[in-house]
């Protein structure tokens, strides 16, 4: 797995987060993909508070216990909510701009760190991966590396709280049947590239995974997956713990 950190010139989401934090407004954060039409991420939503979070995220925040690692923490919305709840949280992100914003917003423990960087040797009781948190895994073939890394990070009895979506609805025909090319790549493997103003990021892989596929990989890697809650639109929250 790549263990890199972003540079400010190649960090559109960090630039958007920084702009919104400093000026209370932001331009469009544009998202490109070879598989979809151009889309935008409303930057304001990256600053959501606990009341405006989807129920899957609120559930994860409530259930996380002990020392918590917020992976890919962005603007720090979950870390700040956890602090307000009196919980102990460490936020990590590969975006120097986002890390700076988190420090200024009052996240107590923030690190500019890639989840897959083995020199980060701290351990946690709960690992939070939210806003399609499975995305950071990138591709299904990275699942074994991901679970190996989790075995180093998790304390005994610890677990991962991860949300994701089953993208099968994108392949649904009008009659409700689903046409998926089983010989092709897994349908949840998406390539994205983002742009904010003139800051364009590198393309990256982002994984959406259905619960059954997640469970199969988890079991192969010595983990147990539980379906904690389902959302309104093919999304769900999973709890992953050592079997």
Nearer to ligand SAH, 71 or 162 (CB): 71
For the CB of residue 130, give the shortest distance to ligand SAH in the complex, in Å: 5
Q: How many residues does the chain have?
A: 243
Nearer to ligand SAH, 152 or 219 (CB): 152
For the CB of residue 15, give the shortest distance to ligand SAH in the complex, in Å: 11
Nearer to ligand SAH, 13 or 238 (CB): 13
For the CB of residue 88, give the shortest distance to ligand SAH in the complex, in Å: 18
Q: In this structure, are residues 23 and 47 in contact, taking their beta carbons and an 8 Å threshold? A: no
Strands 39-41 and 29-32: antiparallel
The residue at minimum Cβ distance from ligand SAH is: 72
For the CB of residue 75, give the shortest distance to ligand SAH in the complex, in Å: 6
Report the C-alpha gap between 137 and 129 in whole angstroms: 10
DSSP line for 187-206: TTEEEEEEEETTEEPPPEEE
Nearer to ligand SAH, 131 or 199 (CB): 131
For the CB of residue 57, give the shortest distance to ligand SAH in the complex, in Å: 7
Nearer to ligand SAH, 117 or 243 (CB): 117
Nearer to ligand SAH, 90 or 173 (CB): 90
Point out which residues pair with 206 in neighbouring strands. 190
For the CB of residue 93, give the shortest distance to ligand SAH in the complex, in Å: 5
Long-range contact pairs involving 218-222 (C-beta distance under 8 Å, separation at least 24):
218/147, 219/243, 220/143, 220/144, 221/143, 221/144, 221/147, 221/148, 222/147, 222/151
Query: In Å, what is the CA distance from 103 to each residue of 55, 145, 153?
Result: 26, 30, 23
Report the C-alpha gap between 2 and 203 in whole angstroms: 13
Nearer to ligand SAH, 6 or 218 (CB): 6
Residues contributing to the site for ligand SAH (CB under 6 A): 13, 46, 71-74, 77, 92-95, 98, 114-116, 130-131, 136
H-helix segments, 72-210: 77-84, 96-105, 143-153
For the CB of residue 243, give the shortest distance to ligand SAH in the complex, in Å: 25
Neighbour-count burial for 116-151, b at 16+ CB within 10 Å, e otherwise: bbeebeeebbbbbbbbbbbbbbbebebbeebbebbe
């Amino acid at each position: 797995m790549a263990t890199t950190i972003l540079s400010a010139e190649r960090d559109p989401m960090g630039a958007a987060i920084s702009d919104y934090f400093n000026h209370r407004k932001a331009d469009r954060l544009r998202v490109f993909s070879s598989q979809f039409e151009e889309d935008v991420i409303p930057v304001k939503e990256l600053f959501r508070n606990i009341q405006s979070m989807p129920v899957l995220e609120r559930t994860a925040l409530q259930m996380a216990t002990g020392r918590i690692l917020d992976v890919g923490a962005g603007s720090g919305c979950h870390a700040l909510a956890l602090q307000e709840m009196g919980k102990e949280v460490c936020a990590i992100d590969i975006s120097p701009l986002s890390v700076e914003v988190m420090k200024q917003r009052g996240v107590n423990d923030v690190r500019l760190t890639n989840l897959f960087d083995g020199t980060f040797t701290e351990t946690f009781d709960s690992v939070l991966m939210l806003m399609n948190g499975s995305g950071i895994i990138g591709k299904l073939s990275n699942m074994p590396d991901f679970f190996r890394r989790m075995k180093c990070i998790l304390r005994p009895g610890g677990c991962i709280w991860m949300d994701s979506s089953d993208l099968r609805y994108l392949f649904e025909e009008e009659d409700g049947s689903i046409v998926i090319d089983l010989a092709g790549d897994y349908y949840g493997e998406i390539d994205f590239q983002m742009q904010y103003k003139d800051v364009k990021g590198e393309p990256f892989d982002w994984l959406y995974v259905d619960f059954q596929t997640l469970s199969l990989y988890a079991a192969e890697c010595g983990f147990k997956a539980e379906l904690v809650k389902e959302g309104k639109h093919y999304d769900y929250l999973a709890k992953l713990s050592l079997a």
